[in-house]
A and B are shown apart, each in its own frame.
Chain A
Amino acid sequence: MAGDRRDGRIVIVGASLAGLRAAEALREEGFTGSLTVVGDEPYPPYDRPPLSKQVLLGHVAADTTGLPMRRDPDADWRLGVRATGLDPVDKRVVLAEGESLPYDRLLVATGTRARPWPNPREAALDGVFTLRTRDDAAGLAERLAAGPQRVLVIGGGFTGSEIASACRERGLEVTVTERGPAPLVGALGGTLSKLAAAMHRNNGVDLRCGVTVTALRGDGNGRLTGADLSDGSRVEADVCVAALGAVRNVEWLAEAGLAAGPRGLACDAGCRAFDMYGIVTDDVFVAGDVSRFPHPLFEYQLLSLEHWGNAVAQAEVAAHNMVSAGPLRRPHLALPTFWSTQFGLNIKAVGVPTLSDHVVIAQGSLEERRVVMVYGYRGRVTAAVTVDMAKSLPYYQHLIETAAPFPPVPGAADRPIAAEIPVPSDVPDPKGLSHGPTVALTGHLPDRRLTVVQPTS
């Protein structure tokens, strides 16, 4: 029954970053069997981060961000084909056309999609967008190039902020609405969100916090004309981007008996999926944005990340474990890392800023717009965020990896200003935000309520 794990049939569902990197790694690990990659988008794997940056700025076209291969994985690419079901007993992936693909081992890498504007009639208005795919970006970039009167961005998360930044750089009028008290507050906590709000306003964004959009309005021809806000005001806009966060692509697994739900498909530290009873499978693996995995540095809570670097690292571990026998398997222990460029600032994060009770400025200052913010939880360092100080990040990464005490002791690199006193991290409950979190702790601690809650409106 053991067989040669380097042979047989492997199917990967999801032909994007995680799917591609896993396919390459399988071959690097010596897999010689048949490899099939199924993806519902009609395009070969492409890179998404440029879609809200270079593409919206008009620097590059949306159809030019194809991902380079590290090596040709010699796979059968089934592109433009959706997987609609999974039979884990018969070991088959059911495809939309009714065909089914037999597998010995399966990798689920179906990622996420943009959460749509909840009112379908309003969402269908001409001028209303979401941003996740190459086609979304092409359509939005074209509208921005045509010079709209005003762009309304709903949601002040990373994606919403990057869109607003690109619009301002193009000289377009922008309104950002955020239900929470400030942009990025859900990801970075109270202190840095004040810097984020200042960056929006200094760059001419009409930022409205503590409000929600109650309705999108259209004219008789189905074209967007504006939006009504919960404070009774109205915004005239001919383009609107709903940047409400992401939805995990798990629907196709509904009948498969796996631990798949709105927070993703849960797996063990070796990327093996759990079934609905919490029993680990040995032939279904998961990687990338669709996964939910335990991390020992963060109290073994299950993390759901929407991070480029995690998709790459987890795909490599999953591939290794798919072709390796028990004792040779590796855990996925990479620290969460994330970057965002907006308003000319380079924001980088390592660790889990939302797992924090206090923060302290370790280097730089908010006024200089160059800062290292260190996050602590119950007396140890759990995350660090740099703004235009990326070279310092590895040092803090080391502190997190070694569970160093918080606040960190002085002596870190160059530190012009002594560390300030720790202040509460002020990470709000995601329920109160317009957008979903890009890092979510989905475990349950008695004193924490940080679970992903699906906004209903």
Chain B
Amino acid sequence: MRIVVDLTRCQGYAQCVFLAPEVFQLHGEEGLLYSSAVPDDQLERVRQAAAACPVQAILLGEEVSARGR
């Protein structure tokens, strides 16, 4: 699973950092850095973080698996 945070919306409330510190980290006072690739053992925490984000900035989903032709 992958995540992306809409950082134009994120206001640095840091709920995600609290709930899934291995995936989300604050850089300075309010700059959010995160790992896009979510390890399986962090999935549940990331789900909670996505649900808790006050501005709903965290999107969790599958990456495109290119079938191609």
User: What secondary structure prevails in chain A residues at the interface with B?
Assistant: mixed
Residues of B within 8 A of A341 (CB): 27-28, 31-33
Whether the pair A49, B28 counts as a contact (CB closer than 8 A) is no
Whether the pair B28, A308 counts as a contact (CB closer than 8 A) is no
Shortest Cβ-Cβ A-B pairs, 8 listed = A68-B61, A344-B28, A341-B31, A309-B8, A44-B64, A66-B63, A346-B31, A64-B37
CB distance from B25 to the nearest CB of A (A): 8
Can you list 26 A-B pairs, Cβ within 8 angstroms, ordered by A? A43-B66, A44-B63, A54-B33, A54-B35, A60-B37, A65-B36, A65-B37, A66-B63, A67-B2, A68-B2, A68-B4, A68-B59, A69-B63, A70-B59, A71-B61, A77-B67, A78-B68, A308-B7, A308-B8, A309-B6, A309-B8, A337-B8, A338-B8, A345-B31, A346-B32, A388-B30
Which of A54, A65, A67 meets B64, CB within 8 Å?
Answer: A67
CB distance from B20 to the nearest CB of A (A): 15
Interface centre among A45, A337, A341 (most CB of B within 10 A): A341
A391 at the interface (CB under 8 A from B): yes
CB distance from A389 to the nearest CB of B (A): 8
Whether the pair A312, B6 counts as a contact (CB closer than 8 A) is yes
Whether the pair A72, B4 counts as a contact (CB closer than 8 A) is no
**A346: nearest chain-B partner, CB-CB:** B31
Residues of B within 8 A of A78 (CB): 68-69
A339 at the interface (CB under 8 A from B): yes
Residues of B within 8 A of A346 (CB): 12, 27-32
Whether the pair A388, B37 counts as a contact (CB closer than 8 A) is no
Using A47-B4, A68-B62, A309-B8 as known contacts, list a sample of 11 further A-B pairs with CB atoms less than 8 Å apart, ordered by residue number in A: A50-B36, A54-B34, A59-B33, A65-B36, A65-B37, A68-B63, A69-B63, A77-B66, A341-B28, A344-B27, A345-B31
Residues of chain B at the chain A interface (Cβ within 8 Å): 1-4, 6-12, 27-37, 59-69
**A341: nearest chain-B partner, CB-CB:** B31
In the bound complex, what is the Cα–Cα distance between A346 and B11 (angstroms)?
Answer: 10
In the bound complex, what is the Cα–Cα distance between A72 and B67 (angstroms)?
Answer: 12
Whether the pair B37, A66 counts as a contact (CB closer than 8 A) is yes
Residues of A within 8 A of B33 (CB): 50, 53-54, 57, 59, 341
Residues of B within 8 A of A45 (CB): 64
In the bound complex, what is the Cα–Cα distance between A390 and B31 (angstroms)?
Answer: 9
CB distance from B12 to the nearest CB of A (A): 5
Whether the pair B8, A391 counts as a contact (CB closer than 8 A) is no
**B38: nearest chain-A partner, CB-CB:** A68
Whether the pair B2, A66 counts as a contact (CB closer than 8 A) is yes
Whether the pair A66, B36 counts as a contact (CB closer than 8 A) is yes
**A54: nearest chain-B partner, CB-CB:** B33
Whether the pair A79, B27 counts as a contact (CB closer than 8 A) is no
Residues of B within 8 A of A308 (CB): 7-8
Residues of B within 8 A of A343 (CB): 28
Residues of A within 8 A of B35 (CB): 54, 59-60, 64
Residues of B within 8 A of A390 (CB): 10-12, 30
CB distance from A162 to the nearest CB of B (A): 11
A76 at the interface (CB under 8 A from B): yes
Residues of B within 8 A of A57 (CB): 33
**A23: nearest chain-B partner, CB-CB:** B64
